[in-house]
Amino acid sequence: MSIFKPKRHSGIHYSGMNPKGYHPSQIKFYIILLPLSLFMLLPMVFIISHAFKPPDELFAYPPRFFVTNPTIKNFTDLFAKMSNSGVPVSRYLFNSIVITIVTIALSILVSTTAAYALSKKRFRLKQTLFAVNTLALMFVPIAVTIPRFLVIEQLGLMDTFWVHVLPALAMPVGLFLIKQFIDGIPDEIIEAARIDGANDVNIYYQIILPMIKPAIATIAILTFQATWNNADVSSLYINDESLKTFAFYITTLTSTTAGANAVAGQGIAAAASLIMFLPNLIIFLILQSQVMSTMSHSGLK
The distance between the two most distant Cα atoms of the chain, rounded to a whole number of Å, is 72
Distance CA 7, CA 69 (A): 52
Please state the pTM of the whole predicted model. Answer: 0.78
Query: What backbone phi and psi angles, to 5 degrees, belong to 84?
Result: -95, 10
CA torsion sign, 144 to 146 to 152 to 154?
negative
Per residue in 22-64, pLDDT (tens digit) is 667 778 888 888 888 888 889 889 999 988 988 888 888 888 8
Task: Out of 22-26, 246-250, 262-266, pick the least confident.
Answer: 262-266
At residue 115 the predicted structure's pLDDT band, cuts being 50, 70 and 90, is very high
Q: How far apart are the first and last CA of the chain?
A: 20
Residue-level pLDDT at 1 = 39
What's the CA angle centered on 178, arms 173 and 183, to 5 degrees?
130
Asked if the model's pLDDT at residue 257 lies above 70, the reply is no
Q: Classify domain 82-297 at the CATH topology level.
A: MetI-like fold (1.10.3720)
Distance CA 82, CA 154 (A): 35
Q: In this structure, how many other beta carbons lie within 10 angstroms of the beta carbon of residue 107?
A: 24
Per residue in 62-112, pLDDT (tens digit) is 888 888 888 888 888 888 877 776 778 888 889 999 999 999 999 999 999
Q: Beta-strand (E) ranges in the chain?
A: 7-9, 12-15, 18-20
Asked if the model's pLDDT at residue 219 lies above 60, the reply is yes
259-286 average pLDDT score: 79
Asked if the model's pLDDT at residue 5 lies above 60, the reply is no
What's the CA angle centered on 228, arms 248 and 212, to 5 degrees?
165
Asked if the model's pLDDT at residue 283 lies above 80, the reply is yes
Q: Could you state, in order of their start, the residue ranges of all structural domains in the chain?
A: 1-32, 82-297
Asked if the model's pLDDT at residue 289 lies above 60, the reply is yes
Query: What backbone phi and psi angles, to 5 degrees, belong to 19?
Result: -70, 140
Asked if the model's pLDDT at residue 7 lies above 70, the reply is no
Which residues in 224-252 are b (16+ Cβ under 10 Å) and which e? bebbbbbbebbeebbeeeebbbbbbbbbb
- What's the whole-number average pLDDT of the chain? 82
Task: Report the run of H or E that residue 252 belongs to, with start and end.
Answer: helix 246-260
Residue-level pLDDT at 16 = 46
- Indicate left, alpha or beta for 16 from its phi (over 0: left) and psi (-120 to 50: alpha): left
Per residue in 160-205, pLDDT (tens digit) is 999 999 988 888 888 988 998 898 888 899 999 898 888 889 999 9
